[in-house]
Amino acid sequence: MTTYEAQMSFLEPWPSTKTESPYVRGMAEDGYLSQNFQNVEHTVEITDARLNKENFKLDTHGFAWYKDTNLSAPVLEAIRSKDKDSVIDAYYPLVEDLVKRATGATRTIVFDHTYRKRNPELDMKENPNGKEQPATVVSLIVALQTV
């Protein structure tokens, strides 16, 4: 199995004595903080897990791999062409259905999607054309299910 070392940025340890939750403001107005925490760099090992992808379970590992055969040529073309309306119409329902099947949820909502491709000419936090760079920090995504 191939392993790589990489620098990753994590949210600083968050003491229980802090009364507010960590936040990030995308476009903070003058006089307001854009975030109320620091990131801490750590060297981590990253292993190519594709050979063992079927072993990962959502409840155990926080992620899982699902092969979805519903991605037809028109859906893939909508994604590749970045046609937002076609992606919403053709791809969102497939994602919602996959999440329902994977989690047992009775209702799902896709509220947004972002295309991210690194532009090496820009600093990782620059966004002059509104196109976001790949994420620079490790984050946790939590999905809640209510019945």
User: Which pLDDT does position 139 carry in this prediction?
Assistant: 58
pLDDT in tens, 118-145: 777 877 667 777 666 776 666 544 444 4
Q: Is residue 134 part of a domain?
A: no
User: Which pLDDT does position 136 carry in this prediction?
Assistant: 65
Helix (H) or strand (E) segment spanning residue 42: strand 39-47
Tell me the average pLDDT across 9-34: 87
- R_g over Cα of the chain: 19
Q: Is residue 145 part of a domain?
A: no
Q: Is residue 27 part of a domain?
A: yes
Q: How many domains does the chain have?
A: 1
Instruction: Round the average pLDDT of the chain to a whole number and report it.
Output: 82
Q: Is residue 39 part of a domain?
A: yes
Tell me the average pLDDT across 10-28: 86
pLDDT in tens, 22-80: 888 877 889 999 888 888 888 989 888 888 889 999 888 888 888 877 788 988 898 88
Q: Is residue 102 part of a domain?
A: no
Q: Is residue 104 part of a domain?
A: no
User: Alpha carbon of 94 to those of 57, 113, 139: distances in Å?
Assistant: 20, 14, 24
Q: Is residue 30 part of a domain?
A: yes
| Contacts within 8 Å (CB) and 24+ apart, 74-80 | none
**Through-space distance between the first and last CA atoms of the chain, rounded to whole angstroms:** 40
Q: Is residue 69 part of a domain?
A: no
pLDDT in tens, 73-103: 988 898 888 889 999 999 999 999 988 988 8
Residue 9 has pLDDT above 60, yes or no: yes
By residue range, what is the domain housing residue 28? 1-48
The confidence band for 15, taking pLDDT boundaries of 50, 70 and 90, is: confident
Rounded to whole angstroms, the Cα distance separating 147 from 136 reads 34
User: Which pLDDT does position 23 carry in this prediction?
Assistant: 86
